């Protein structure tokens, strides 16, 4: 009875505040004392073309409707079918049992979050696209979810279907790999987005019930809950519920969820789930990369609310470990299919060595052909980086986030929005015939693990939320792209502006003020770390800044802005070859090409006839001869880079030949055409490489 009264009290408080909640942000740090900034409202920014606007349109018009056709198909995803069965509205696939992986509920909810966001930003087009695939409305979908949830707040359709149909003795948390808390965490984050955009409480009530269920369990059976914190999206979800409701129990629950991880028994915990040792003793990124990155993002959220520096210290140590030793040039993480953890441990730790799937691996262990790099791991890394930016205001986190967005997340989906990568290699050669678990070409469905497609869809649908943030009397500009902004500056008033640019193809950006507060405000513009010293310029009303903008910082202007004021930013975007630390074995003696925020790759489609990628190298002495060239790939136009290189025609290898005598080869000059890495694989089953030998 006490719990019910608490739930009702919280629900009524939220309902009373719903008119204001609809204007809040994706991650609401507006009252977080340990955050340097807050996000703008969920509909404050609209793309006006450009690369990210193009990707949003593809998400709205293609990804979201297409994913519905997969999620509703009981032969492909089973997710919607499971919700219908749990709600007593579906017959299933004929054998009265739920199907699909145990994280299907969360995948469906990620897709629903994408749909809710797209519909709020672009309602007519989104609704028309969903009608074309005969999808129910958001309200109708939520009604099914509400009916599927148990009265006590538990929501995990595989267990609920079996319990309601009495097909077996299915128990909650019987298997720590069943992802119950992961699924309920995505319910919470989706519910917060839905309420903030619509003011409705239908899905929020489900989320509050689930949070109350976890709260009870954390008090009554903390060891059981600790063992089942798989991919802990519920850390972020519970914190966001606290931010929305201001109910202290949820803040306390989030703290407790971190603390009880230390209760996992030694014979159960492992680096696979980051619970071999207490989190506060962690100093490096270990184990399953998706689980790790979700954990780190959730801990950052908890720190934002309670300021516990014993949580911040390991986050900073892990951040340094990833950035300096375990991050691909594309911003991806989770290099290995399977790793041993702790790898290279002294003999006293041998009993704790266990297999780790899609693992971070050891430092500098960054293979190319066999790279795992699950799209969800990169999305998790992006979520964590963004939260670190909100906490600190440090430009390096915005640089890393941008790198991850363009080169780690966008590649996860084809340009037409209808096929997906689960893993993301940095090289693909047809001569490499070792069987791999996952396809090196995008697939229209990923039946056994459909987590990445809806995750990449919601990230693209919500990408506009990351362009700007706010602080008292201050606007921060993080991402450049053609867009409009209509927001309220805390402590000042309404600000409307538009961003005119063809970024990332061009480094020329104009910010045009359309309405500004009467009093002076500060605008802070990111100068990316990839800009060479002296390669950035910023002018306000035609006048340059007194201090030249420095790469890796924010350039600051404080003044009273007038309607029509124009801030002009010029970022040199010269192509650059980068090399890896010599301990990165598979990139030794090679270089990768990048221009601005984009990493480029070479595809076999663009090579001369009878030339293989394994025969090609670039000439660093000819860097000044690199030119840009327009190119159409599928439905989009991009800027390719034309680079002088050489081809060394090697004789074919004999069957079974592993080594042979090397002979001098005569180099043949050729022109190499590189395309942005996010576009690769859209022109058939091609060979591809990011790294090439350098001469």
pLDDT at 17: 47
3-state secondary structure 291-328: HHHHHHHHHHHHHHHHCCHHHHHHHHHHHHHHHHHHCC
pLDDT grade for 350, boundaries at 50, 70 and 90: low
Position 498 scores a pLDDT of 98
- The better pLDDT of the pair 215, 276 is held by 215
Instruction: Give the torsion sign (CA, 582, 585, 590, 592).
Output: negative
H or E element in which residue 193 lies: helix 180-198
Express each pLDDT in 551-601 by its tens digit: 999 999 999 999 999 999 999 999 999 999 999 999 999 999 999 999 999
Q: What is the rounded average pLDDT of the residues 684-691?
A: 95
- Nearest-angstrom CA–CA distance, 120 and 112: 12
Asked if 683 and 594 sit in the same domain, the reply is yes
Residue 259 has pLDDT above 90, yes or no: yes
Q: Which of 364-368, 623-627, 683-687 has the lowest mean pLDDT?
A: 623-627
Last residue of a domain, one of 571, 599, 633: 571
* Residue 78, pLDDT above cutoff 90: no
**Contact present, 683 and 607 (Cβ < 8 Å):** no
pLDDT at residue 620 in the model? 87
Residue 71 counted as domain residue: no
Which of 519, 545, 571 is the C-terminal boundary of a domain? 571
- For the chain, what percent of residues have pLDDT higher than 70? 94
Please report whether residue 142 resides in a domain.
no
Inform me whether the pLDDT recorded for 18 exceeds 60: no
- 540 within a domain of the structure (yes/no): yes
Backbone φ, ψ for residue 138 (5° rounding): -60, -45
Give the separation between CA 375 and CA 382, rounded to whole angstroms: 11
Q: What is the pLDDT of residue 483?
A: 98
Same domain, 589 and 629: yes
Mean pLDDT in the chain?
Answer: 91
The pLDDT of residue 346: 63
Question: Is pLDDT at 20 greater than 60 in this prediction?
Answer: no
Answer whether residue 626 is part of any domain.
yes
556 lies in the same domain as 603: no
* Same domain (yes/no): 515, 553: yes
Judge contact between 633 and 661, C-beta under 8 A.
no
- Does 548 fall in a domain? yes
Domain co-membership, 586 together with 566: no
Cα–Cα distance, 269 to 284 (Å, whole number):
16
Distance CA 573, CA 140 (A): 48
Average pLDDT over residues 211-216: 97
For residues 556 and 488, membership in a common domain is answered with yes
Query: Is 547 in the same domain as 635?
Result: no
SS (H, E, C) 584-601: CHHHCCEEEEEECCEEEE
Shared-domain flag, residues 566 and 617: no
Q: What is the torsion angle, in degrees rounded to the nearest 10, for the CA atoms of residue 542, residue 544, residue 546 and residue 550?
A: 150
Q: Looking at per-residue confidence, does 603 or 352 come out higher?
A: 603
Q: Classify residue 184: in a domain, yes or no.
A: no
Whether residues 680 and 634 share a domain: the answer is: yes
Closest CA to 134 of 74, 68, 79: 68
Confirm if 213 and 154 have CB atoms less than 8 A apart. yes
Res 80 pLDDT > 70: yes
pLDDT tens profile 146-170 = 999 999 999 999 999 988 887 777 8
E-strand ranges in 387-535 read: 427-428, 468-471, 474-477, 483-489, 493-501, 508-515, 521-527
Note the pLDDT of residue 349. 63
- Whether residues 498 and 556 share a domain: the answer is yes
Asked if residue 322 belongs to a domain, the reply is: no
Regarding whether 594 and 566 lie in a shared domain, the answer is: no
Give the Cα separation of 381 and 36 in Å (integer): 20
Question: What confidence score (pLDDT) does residue 22 get?
Answer: 40
Helix (H) or strand (E) holding 668, with range, is: strand 668-676
Give the mean pLDDT of 240-258.
Answer: 97
Any idea what the Cα angle at residue 674 is, between residues 617 and 324, rounded to 5°? 75
Same domain (yes/no): 629, 673: yes
Query: What domain count does the chain have?
Result: 2
Model confidence at 345, pLDDT cuts 50, 70, 90, reads: low
Contact assessment for residue 387 and residue 303, using Cβ atoms and an 8 Å cutoff: no
Instruction: Answer yes or no: are the C-beta atoms of 387 and 27 closer than 8 Å.
Output: yes
Three-state DSSP class for residue 544: strand
| 446 vs 421, more confident | 421
60-64, 169-173, 279-283: range with lowest mean pLDDT: 169-173
Domain final residue, candidates 528, 548, 571: 571
Please tell me the chain's helix, strand, coil percentages from 3-state DSSP, rounded to the nearest 5. 40, 20, 40
Could you read off the pLDDT of 525-538 as tens digits, one per residue?
A: 999 999 999 999 99
List, for residues 428-461, the tens digit of each pLDDT value.
998 887 877 777 788 888 766 788 899 999 999 9
Q: Is residue 399 domain-resident?
A: no
Structure tokens given for 571: 């970022």
Inter-axis angle of helices 233-245 and 248-259, nearest 10: 160
What's the CATH code of the domain at 486? 2.60.40
pLDDT at residue number 6:
53
Domain that holds residue 644: 576-652+663-693
Please tell me the distance from the alpha carbon of residue 165 to that of residue 162, in angstroms, as a whole number: 5
């Amino acid at each position: 009875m006490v719990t019910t009264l608490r739930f009702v009290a919280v629900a009524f408080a939220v309902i009373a505040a719903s008119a204001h909640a609809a204007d809040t942000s994706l991650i609401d740090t507006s009252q977080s004392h340990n955050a340097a900034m807050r996000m703008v409202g969920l509909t404050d920014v609209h793309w006006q073309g450009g690369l990210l606007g193009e990707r949003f349109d593809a998400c709205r018009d293609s990804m979201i409707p297409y994913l519905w056709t997969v999620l509703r198909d009981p032969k492909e995803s089973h997710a919607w079918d499971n919700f219908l069965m749990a709600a007593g509205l579906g017959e299933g696939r004929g054998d009265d049992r739920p199907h699909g992986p145990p994280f299907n509920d969360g995948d469906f909810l990620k897709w629903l979050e994408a749909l809710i966001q797209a519909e709020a930003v672009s309602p007519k087009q989104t609704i028309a696209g969903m009608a074309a695939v005969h999808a129910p409305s958001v309200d109708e979908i939520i009604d099914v979810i509400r009916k599927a949830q148990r009265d006590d707040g538990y929501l995990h359709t595989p267990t609920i279907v079996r319990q309601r149909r009495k097909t077996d003795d299915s128990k909650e948390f019987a298997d720590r790999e069943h992802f119950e808390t992961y699924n309920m965490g995505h319910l919470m984050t989706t519910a917060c987005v839905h309420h903030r955009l619509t003011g409705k409480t239908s899905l929020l009530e489900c989320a509050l019930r689930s949070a109350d269920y976890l709260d009870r369990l954390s008090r009554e059976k903390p060891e059981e809950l600790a063992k089942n914190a798989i991919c802990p999206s519920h850390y972020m979800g519970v914190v966001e519920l606290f931010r929305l409701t201001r109910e202290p129990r949820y803040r306390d629950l989030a703290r407790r969820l971190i603390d009880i991880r230390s209760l996992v028994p030694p014979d159960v915990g492992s680096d696979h789930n980051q619970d071999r040792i207490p989190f506060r003793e962690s100093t490096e990124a270990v184990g399953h990369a998706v689980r790790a990155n979700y954990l780190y993002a959730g801990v950052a959220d908890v720190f934002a609310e309670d300021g516990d520096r014993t949580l911040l210290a390991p986050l900073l140590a892990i951040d340094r470990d990833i950035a300096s030793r375990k991050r691909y040039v594309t911003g991806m993480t989770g290099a290995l299919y399977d790793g041993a953890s702790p790898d290279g441990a002294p003999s006293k730790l041998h009993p704790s060595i266990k297999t780790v799937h899609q693992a971070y691996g050891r430092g500098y262990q960054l293979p190319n052909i066999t790279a795992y790099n699950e799209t969800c791991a990169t999305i998790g890394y992006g979520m964590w980086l963004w939260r670190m930016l909100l906490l600190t205001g440090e430009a390096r986190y915005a640089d890393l986030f941008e790198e991850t967005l363009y080169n780690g997340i966008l590649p996860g989906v084809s340009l037409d929005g209808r096929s997906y990568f689960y893993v993301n290699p940095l090289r693909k050669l047809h001569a490499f015939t070792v069987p791999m678990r996952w396809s090196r070409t995008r697939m229209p469905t990923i039946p056994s693990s459909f987590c990445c497609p809806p995750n990449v869809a919601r990230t693209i649908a919500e990408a506009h939320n990351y362009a700007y943030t706010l602080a008292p009397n201050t606007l921060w500009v993080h991402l450049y792209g053609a867009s409009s902004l209509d927001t309220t500056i805390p402590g000042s008033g309404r600000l409307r502006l538009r961003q005119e640019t063809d970024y990332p193809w061009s480094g020329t950006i104009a910010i045009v003020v359309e309405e500004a507060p009467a009093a002076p405000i500060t605008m802070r513009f990111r100068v990316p770390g990839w800009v060479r010293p002296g390669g950035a310029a910023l002018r306000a009303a035609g006048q340059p800044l007194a201090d030249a903008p420095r790469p890796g910082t924010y350039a600051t202007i404080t003044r009273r802005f007038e309607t029509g004021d124009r801030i002009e930013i010029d970022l040199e975007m010269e192509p650059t070859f980068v090399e890896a630390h010599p301990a990165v074995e598979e990139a030794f003696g090679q270089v990768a090409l990048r221009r601005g925020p984009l990493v480029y790759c070479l595809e076999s489609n663009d090579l001369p006839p009878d030339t293989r990628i394994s025969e090609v190298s670039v000439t660093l002495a000819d860097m000044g001869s690199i030119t840009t060239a327009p190119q159409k790939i599928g439905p989009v136009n991009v800027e390719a880079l034309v680079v002088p290189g050489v081809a060394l025609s090697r004789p074919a290898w004999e069957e079974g030949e592993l080594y042979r005598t090397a002979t001098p080869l005569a180099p043949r000059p050729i022109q190499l055409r590189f395309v942005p890495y996010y576009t690769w694989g859209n022109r058939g089953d091609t060979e591809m490489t990011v790294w090439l030998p350098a001469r």
